Each structure stands twice: as C-alpha cells, then as structure tokens.
Amino acid sequence: MAQNCGASRKSLFLREGDGTIRRLFGGRVTEHLVTEQPQVSNHRANMVVRNETGELNHVDFQSSNEANFGLRIAEYYIHLVGVHRQHNIQAVLCLGRDHLRMDPGFPPLLWPSASKS
C-alpha cells in the first residue's frame, strides 16, 4: 500500500515536469535517478558496549588508512541507532604502525565523475 501511495505522489511530480523540484531546490532537472537500491549488508561493528550510565559506545579498530572511513562509521552509527534506539558515542583506536591520515568526516560531495562540465 505504501509503495502505491509513493508511486502516486511521484507521478504527480513527474506530470508537472521539474517545476516543483525547481521551486524546492532551484535549478532544472537534468536526470531522474533510480530510487530503488536493493542492498544486502552485514553490519559488524568491532565492539559495541553499554556502560554503567546506559550510554552506548562503539569502538572501531583501525590498522590502516581507509578512503571511505567516514561513510562506514556513519553507516555503523545509523545502524546502531536503528537497532538500539539511542545515540552512540564512537571512538577509533589505531592499531597499526602508520599514523591515521583519514578525514573523519564524509568524502567530498562532488565525486570526480560528477564534476564534469
């Protein structure tokens, strides 16, 4: 039922062209992207504990630099909130020889393939 309702709403937007989207976000629609993204994933955090105050703590052990580290940690955060229904505090412990040089945030919003003029 929810899918039918969503499809109906989407068709209303598509019928109007990009006018609604333009009013919401500015700019002309140049592409409609696939919205169904089936994915099978197994979230396996290194360590999740609850302390004496009831706080949820996630520890990630990292031995090397990882390009999408910020996104992976964000996925763990969202997954843990969904499962435990509470905020969790995350820490990363470096176990390798190299100093971590990873950006703790998300990667740049414009990917190289999207930056074409």
Local mean pLDDT, 10-residue blocks, the chain (117 residues)? 65 70 79 75 88 94 86 90 94 83 63 46
In a shared domain, residues 31 and 57: no
What is the reported pLDDT for 59?
A: 93
In a shared domain, residues 54 and 79: yes
Distance CA 83, CA 31 (A): 35
What is the reported pLDDT for 82?
A: 93
What is the reported pLDDT for 49?
A: 95
Decide: residue 86, CB within 10 A, 0-12 exposed, 13-18 middle, 19+ buried: exposed
In a shared domain, residues 46 and 102: yes
In a domain, 117, yes or no: no
What is the reported pLDDT for 17?
A: 66
In a shared domain, residues 83 and 52: yes
C-beta neighbour count of 65 within 10 angstroms: 14
Distance CA 46, CA 57 (A): 11
In a shared domain, residues 5 and 33: yes
In a domain, 7, yes or no: yes
What is the reported pLDDT for 106?
A: 61
In a shared domain, residues 91 and 69: yes
In a shared domain, residues 55 and 80: yes
CA neighbor of 76 nearest in space, from 98, 93, 92: 92
What is the reported pLDDT for 108?
A: 54
In a shared domain, residues 100 and 70: yes
Domain that holds residue 5: 1-38
State whether the Cα torsion 10-13-14-20 is positive or negative. Answer: negative
In a shared domain, residues 44 and 34: no
In a shared domain, residues 45 and 32: no
Domains: count for the chain: 2
